[in-house]
Amino acid sequence: MYVDASMAARAAKERQPRKNLLLAATIEADGLRVPVRIRNLSEGGAMVDGSALPRTGTLLTLTRAEIEVGGRVVWQTQGRCGVAFDTTAITVDEWVSGNRVASFQGHRGQARVDAIQQAVRSGTELPAEPAMAGAAPDLANLGTRLVEEIYHVRELLDRLGERLIDDPHVIATHMASLQNLDRASQILDHLGAILGADDPAAAVDGVAMQELRARLMR
């Protein structure tokens, strides 16, 4: 099949580069606010995990720290859903950090500096710089950051496990240790979900690992 240059360019734009991540966030839709995890992300959309996700077609707001963007659920199945963002103005790096990068007339980084210099030369009035944030730590969002760190450690363990199971010798000699590594990853996943839940007690009650549930409820 012949594909002309314009069709190829349009397809490339539609298939924006995606990054596999594990970021704590929240979804607000239909008056509800629920914690989710961003699993797969591009500037145009994301795949998220969660225990209570909105239906396909629902309009929502996805929030992570300072980042907030509107979107629409384009598919939903078995604890996951795809979200198409209303705007592509937020970069993947900004989603990861949870902070907006300073911009000027849509430019960031060195391009922002160049645009400011050009505006100064042409006599354009520059907008006032936003007030600097205080040096005090943002303790109000400490719980969210703790959840993010737990998921980050779990992701590190998962990557280690994936590398180790590629070695037949490691599997043959350290199977018990690999199983413990997998259990540690599962425990971290449960702890992250509990800490990020609106009702931690109910989340503990829903833990599938009986030993962990017993330890948490003793």
pLDDT digits (tens, 9 = 90+) for 68-126: 899 999 999 988 999 999 987 788 888 887 776 555 455 554 555 555 566 666 766 55
Q: What is the pLDDT, as a whole number, of residue 11?
A: 39
* SS3 per-residue string spanning 18-58: CEEEEEEEEEEECCEEEEEEEEEECCCEEEEECCCCCCCCC
Q: Which of 38, 68, 96 is the last residue of a domain?
A: 96
In a domain, 129, yes or no: no
Rounded Cα distance, 10 and 191, in Å? 43
Query: How many domains does the chain divide into?
Result: 2
In a domain, 208, yes or no: yes
Return the number of other C-beta atoms located less than 10 Å from residue 46's C-beta: 27
Rounded Cα distance, 119 and 140, in Å? 38
Backbone angles phi, psi at 203, to 5 degrees: -65, -40
Same domain as 83, residue 152: no
Q: If phi over 0 gives left and psi between -120 and 50 gives alpha, with beta otherwise, what is residue 191?
A: alpha
Q: Which of 78, 96, 114 is the last residue of a domain?
A: 96
- 3-class DSSP state for residue 203? helix
In a domain, 108, yes or no: no
- 3-class DSSP state for residue 111? helix
Residue among 64, 63, 21, 51 at smallest CA distance from 39: 21
**pTM of the prediction?**
0.47
Q: Which domain holds residue 78?
A: 15-96
Q: What is the pLDDT, as a whole number, of residue 48?
A: 92
